[in-house]
Amino acid sequence: MKLAGKTAIVTGGGRDIGRACAIRLASEGANVAVNYFASSTGADATVAEIEKRGGKAFAVQGDLNNAGAVEALVSETVARFGSVDILVNNAGGLIARKTIAEMDLAHWHAVMDLNVTSMFLMVKACLPHMTRGAIINLASQAGRDGGGPGAVAYATAKGAVMTMTRGLAKELGPQIRVNALCPGMIDTDFHNIHTPDAGRRGLEANAPLRRQGVPEDTANLVLFLASEEAAYITGANVDINGGMLFS
């Protein structure tokens, strides 16, 4: 049990990568706060799965662009479990594919807030309760290569997540390690909504590993970065893309 006695907050923990991370961290002994925004169904199912396996978790709604809601999420976690040791900043998204010519300022701000401002608020709220521990941010391969068509805002936001990860690692060490993941094609609703099927089949044909990733692949890496097995890793943006991009 690599995380016995630890407490983790997983934002966007009701589905896909967030759900897999919450379950994986709990499987190694962590108590988990599962944040969600719109629908409790997925978060409640995640909590039920963790409890079925003997773990401890609860679901809590919160708009992560609202400082008050973020403070409430962190306060409830500390009240229930006593501390915050691991923060997984998974909440984020593309919202919609828009070229710069099509994009208005409202869309730009919405993408930046969803991916970057939420992370800033979560880190700031957790720090008073983290004497030591690990922060793991979800960036993207788009932050490396600029993303696909209509993804300039999203790729820019994820590039900011990568840079913020490096800066936080310098600022918060040695007590707190900060790392990020840069997932490529992971089989999630994100790609069900935003990626044409032909593109996904093309990746499966051309990637060295000949498949898309699954959320559990990402969750295993999050677990490693959260654990003491990664005790000498901080400020890293780790690629997980089946070999489609080498950085």
The CB-side HSE value for 23 (13 A sphere, CA atoms) comes to 22
Rounded Cα distance between 232 and 177, Å, is 9
CA Rg, the chain, in Å?
17
Backbone angles phi, psi at 209, to 5 degrees: -90, 0
Task: Establish whether 154 is a catalytic residue.
Answer: yes
Which residues 6+ apart lie within 8 Å of 105 measured at CB? none
- Find the catalytic residue in 154, 188, 191, 236: 154
Query: How far, in Å, are 34, 53, 98 from residue 44 at the CA level?
Result: 9, 14, 33
3-class DSSP state of 183: strand
CB-CB neighbours of 79 under 10 Å:
8
Positions marked active-site: 154
